[in-house]
Structure 1
Amino acid sequence: MADNQKLSEVEHVKDASRYLRGTLAESLENPITGALYPDDTHLIKFHGSYQQTDRDLDSERKRQKLEPLYSFMIRVRVPGGVATPAQWLRMDELADEYANGTLKLTTRQAFQLHGVLKRDLQQTIQGFNEALLDSIAGCGDVNRNVMLNPNPHQSRVHAEAYEVARHISTHLTPRTSAYWELWLNGEPQFSSAPNEGEEDAEPIYGKTYLPRKFKIALGIPPHNDTDIFANDIGLIAVEENGRLAGFNVAVGGGMGMTFGMSDTYPRLADIIGYVPAGQVVDVCEKIVTIQRDWGNRENRKFSRLKYTLDRVGLDVFRGELHQRLGYALEPARPYQFRSSGDAFGWAIQADGRAHLTLFVEGGRVADRPGSELKTALREIARFHQGDFRLTGNQNLILANIAPEHRLAVQALLQEHGVPVEANDALTGLRRGALACVALNTCTLAFAEAERYLPQLLDRLDGVMRQLGLSQDDILLRMTGCPNGCARPYLGEIGLVGRAVGRYNLYLGAAFNGERLNKLYQEMLDEDGIVAALTPLLADYAQGRQPQERFGDFVIRRGYVHATTHGLDFHQ
């Protein structure tokens, strides 16, 4: 670790935290405020929660001399995106009892509950742990939820890859007993917790954990629907003779940057070799330990693995990895990604089981006038015998539906106004759109995203239909700040909030997730966004080549230059 004089504030908090305990117990018991003590706001992230305020109410509460309306977001891990009907029902129940009545499906295949008050945190966390879900490492400077292509009918190797994802998740889950002590009355629910009488230790992370968050995703070609190159580790499944043989390993992806700091940038991961499936957990662990030892602990803006790689060089990093493993990775195997979106509607397997991929706008599961999605899914969960699978695009797959239940599922969705065939009901632009939560609860947001994007899409849908592009899939991503939670720099159209009602417009990412976009125009309001995109879309409708994607088109026509590496993102 670096000299103590150079450590960031968060590093000191972690060091003194007694393996993530800090004064959280005292904070939770303090009845005077709805907030935590300042140091504890860092530590609770490791337990899967962020302290937030309702920013819509901040001014009025300040006028009334009240403290901000504090509440908490809780992120519940779902490794590989696969949840049971019982788990879905429990999350639905907790959303109504303790949160704001909605479920958020995230771009990392996790559940989020919003609006949980401090006094209800323990009951809420106990509630989903009873359903064998947890929030430990949902946030914080550790490995987060492990992602995987969740669609079982798209590949024969899905089940094997899913077991790998679960194994990686379990292996990299923090071992501290603080989570069980604070939230579960000291009763471990999973094998990651210490046994009775054991002292806390973190054999992989150490007492100060990682310098920054860490993300891992698995992808199964030809579908890159987990955007594996946006992760610290991306694992590309390699299939041989119908079985999972191993993975190509990519390292150093990450989306966040800071406005006005050109030495911060999004970056896509580099492929460094191939590893057999039986060794992939070992490879992930050793990469994590290199970042633990080499990552920047002085300035958190430069603490992600991507900056470590660009500082030391890929060859030096690969050499260190091989030394820690005791063996070298094999050369990467051939693969091809064709898309990064979801395929909506029904898919029927030869054995009669069915899978239905539903569009969930903004990932928000809620009841709205004319479309009672939350109620419909609750009723389906009461008899469904398969899975609820969260996708990396904020959508939902009702998987492994029994033949005798298919008509009942279809009827319930139609009865509650939920479109079953999104391909027919929505434009291609809306089907592929992602948005982060942003205002009103995210403390980092400069602008709206989830609440506003449908309004913008209403206008852009009109343009798409007028130009005959309504069924053309174009990836649009919007975030309320440059941290990139909805992966805006991988959007063929990326919109990143600069101020309330103002966005930077980025163009030119690859449809398959293998190229970043580039800044096109800055500080646009809604009229400016529509005015900037309309002539580009018109040109695309008239001048595109056969099968040419919008992101490729804007580069070929010279609207933006291609971004070849994170280091040239701002050029």
Structure 2
Amino acid sequence: MSQEEPQKSKVEVIKEASVGLRGSIAAELADHSTDHVEDATTKLLKFHGTYQQDDRDLRKARRKEKLGKAFSFMVRNRIPGGKMTAAQFLAELDIADELGNGTIRITTRQSIQLHGVVKDNLWGVIHRINEIDLSTQSACGDVTRNVCCCPAPLHQDSLRTELQKLTDEIAEFVRPKTGAYHEIWIKDPDTGEREQVAGQPAVSEFEPLYGEAYMPRKFKIGLGMCHDNCIDVYAHDLGLLAVTEGDTILGFNVLVGGSMGTTPSKKNCFPAIGKRMAFVTREELFPLITAVMLVQRDFGDRSDRSQARMKYLIHNWGLPKFKAKVEEYLTQAESICSVAEGTVRRPLLDPHPAEVTTHQDHLGWHEQGDGKWFLGLPIENGRVKDDGSLQLKAALRKLLPEHVPTVRLTLHQNILLCDVEASRRADIEKILSDHGVVTVEQISTLRRHAFACPALPTCGLAVTESERVMPLVISDLEVLLDELGLADEPFSLHMTGCPNGCARPYNCDIGLVGKSIDGKSGEGKYTVFIGGNLIGTRMNAVYKDLVLRSDIPATLRPLLICFKENRQAGETLGDFFHRWGMDSLKELDGTAEV
């Protein structure tokens, strides 16, 4: 008797019944009697680039007044490689001012999020984003998310230009084929031009890559370079590490199974960095991408969403079996890509020896190699707003597009002001200074390499604060680092308000992950991870759990002293922690469990 297949999760049933991600979205948007949508619709709206949230700061007060939650939506753009025109960026600011909460947030995947969008404004926000030739489709949901690559417009060689072009091609290739997005958000319902006025298609469009239920969970692709891992290539489900010779891309080392999310209460959940699976040439790349996605689509866990990411499939099978299954799927993949059978070599080649060596954040002024310049501007936690003496939005409105014609977004939540004429540099610096906007030369080394997720009050998964307290954590640590003479030491510090890992806290030098709220003080408690590295190629590990936010400097103090006194020449903080060993480090603090 054959073993019964596991029961599908609730989300899988919703996807299969949605008729190409349509569901009842259009009908619920048209219902102005309520400020929120039903649970099934929230699951489908993610594929369209938006999450339903509520202001958690207001929950207690509203309960006392016997009111429901203060619902709103977060809307996320899909911006492959983070490339935008100045006009598009200004339009995003306008949309945020007119239909959102007045701020935009640069994400850790080179995109933009708008917060505080009420239900009656949701259609207008997404429609206007499409009017400026951007999109929110596939920015969320169980599909390929925003495809990432180095955004720097460095033209001294052709490498980045080629990767950026390839990123656009991949993003278009993995875009879902359903017409639901266009029907719901692009056609104007007031003019009667919507393709779907009443009812919906009996069946959804054919999705050769995704099938009727799309992916088991989100799927992330990133293209990186050995000498510039600014996109954290090992943190993606599918990392494509360019192997180069001079100005030529020979091919890609294929890294599979990266993912930062986890559920600590479940022993079978864990974060992971990608495993080196194979080397492919540029000509073999699209069939390879397709085959990897098809294997995850067909064999990823659809019964337990906590086990649905590709890292768990690889963990359960082992890399050799996963690689063999990818090779088996290459023929089907080649037919989807319209590539003649036999183009991709079988078996797949082993990875090239090339490996990540350095990390660049592209902050400060840089010559582009075409006679123009770009300025990498640090944006604390990616939040673009006017706040007291910091008038960042106002500065950008003055700079764009007169002085700065294009912008690009980084995975560290910063912005590159691009294609600047040399004659305008002084004017740009003055405008920034007049508006209280700091440049990289005016911030500490620690602040330069630190970022946080949004967390409270909008994220429904957040356990503790993150974005709102990260500046305080950094300020406290800056005092300690100055005291120890380590202020110029570069190391990465990432903070999240929950274990889901949006700010990639598990492969940095020091990660702070929200765990609980202290019942007496109301202060957040965090798990402290140490031992990753700035270039993102090694996982860190738990040093101490349930550390109060205010106790973080004291917790790290003995570790930093030990580092200062025992480091080897040129040794980084994460490398030292890794070499010294967790047991030895925990002995430095009598309160840490060994």
Q: Do these two structures clear the TM 0.5 threshold for a shared fold by scoring above it? A: yes
Q: Which position in structure 2 is the counterpart of 1:332?
A: 351
CA-to-partner distance for each residue in 1:16-48, whole Å, 9 max, x for gaps?
111111111122122232110111010000000
Asked whether the 8 Å contact 2:153–2:368 carries over to 1, the reply is no
Q: Which position in structure 1 is the counterpart of 2:317?
A: 312
Q: Which position in structure 2 is the counterpart of 1:522?
A: 545
CA–CA distance in structure 1, aligned partners of residues 404 and 546 of structure 2: 49
Asked whether the 8 Å contact 2:492–2:534 carries over to 1, the reply is yes
Q: Which position in structure 2 is the counterpart of 1:565?
A: none
Q: 2:218 aligns with which of 213, 216, 219?
A: 213
The answer to whether the aligner puts 1:299 opposite 2:318 as a matched pair is no
Q: Which position in structure 2 is the counterpart of 1:555?
A: 578
CA–CA distance in structure 2, aligned partners of residues 472 and 393 of structure 1: 18
Q: How does 1:371-386 map to 2 (within 5 A)?
A: 371-384=390-403, 386=405
CA-to-partner distance for each residue in 1:121-158, whole Å, 9 max, x for gaps?
11111111011100010000000000001113286400
Residue identity in the other structure for 1:345: G
- Which secondary structure does the structure 1 equivalent of 2:357 belong to? coil
CA–CA distance in structure 2, aligned partners of residues 408 and 333 of structure 1: 46
- Which secondary structure does the structure 1 equivalent of 2:141 belong to? coil
Shift, 1:341, TM fit: 5.0
Identity %: 39
CA–CA distance in structure 2, aligned partners of residues 440 and 155 of structure 1: 44
Q: 1:238 aligns with which of 231, 235, 243?
A: 243
Shift, 1:553, TM fit: 1.0
CA–CA distance in structure 2, aligned partners of residues 307 and 526 of structure 1: 32
RMSD after superposition = 2.3
Shift, 1:467, TM fit: 1.1
CA-to-partner distance for each residue in 1:1-28, whole Å, 9 max, x for gaps?
x977610000000011111111111221
Asked whether the 8 Å contact 1:518–1:560 carries over to 2, the reply is no
Asked whether the 8 Å contact 2:260–2:502 carries over to 1, the reply is yes
- Which secondary structure does the structure 1 equivalent of 2:564 belong to? helix
Q: How does 1:122-521 map to 2 (within 5 A)?
A: 122-153=123-154, 156-185=158-187, 200-326=205-331, 327-384=346-403, 386-420=405-439, 423-500=440-517, 501-521=524-544
Bigger mean CA deviation after superposition, 398-407 or 159-168? 398-407
Residue identity in the other structure for 2:12: E
List gaps (5 residues or longer) in structure 1.
Answer: 188-192, 563-569
In structure 2, the CA distance between the partners of 1:199 and 1:531, relative to structure 1 (3 Å rule), is closer
Q: Which position in structure 1 is the counterpart of 2:110?
A: 109
- The alignment covers a number of residue pairs equal to 555
Asked whether the 8 Å contact 2:19–2:204 carries over to 1, the reply is no
Moved over 6 A (4+): 2-5, 196-199
CA–CA distance in structure 2, aligned partners of residues 350 and 39 of structure 1: 50
Shift, 1:173, TM fit: 0.6
Asked whether the 8 Å contact 1:355–1:398 carries over to 2, the reply is yes
- Which secondary structure does the structure 2 equivalent of 1:132 belong to? coil
Asked whether the 8 Å contact 2:225–2:241 carries over to 1, the reply is yes
CA–CA distance in structure 1, aligned partners of residues 25 and 115 of structure 2: 20
Q: Which position in structure 2 is the counterpart of 1:31?
A: 32
Asked whether the 8 Å contact 2:96–2:102 carries over to 1, the reply is yes
Shift, 1:308, TM fit: 0.6
Residue identity in the other structure for 2:572: R
Asked whether the 8 Å contact 2:294–2:329 carries over to 1, the reply is no
- Which secondary structure does the structure 2 equivalent of 1:319 belong to? helix
CA–CA distance in structure 2, aligned partners of residues 464 and 343 of structure 1: 24
Q: TM-score, normalised by structure 2?
A: 0.90
Residue identity in the other structure for 1:263: N
Shift, 1:384, TM fit: 4.0
Residue identity in the other structure for 2:58: L
- Which secondary structure does the structure 2 equivalent of 1:488 belong to? coil
Asked whether the 8 Å contact 1:339–1:513 carries over to 2, the reply is no
CA–CA distance in structure 2, aligned partners of residues 403 and 551 of structure 1: 38
In structure 2, the CA distance between the partners of 1:457 and 1:184, relative to structure 1 (3 Å rule), is same
Shift, 1:185, TM fit: 1.5
List gaps (5 residues or longer) in structure 2.
Answer: 190-194, 332-345, 518-523, 586-592
CA–CA distance in structure 1, aligned partners of residues 404 and 435 of structure 2: 21
Residue identity in the other structure for 2:468: R
Residue identity in the other structure for 1:212: R
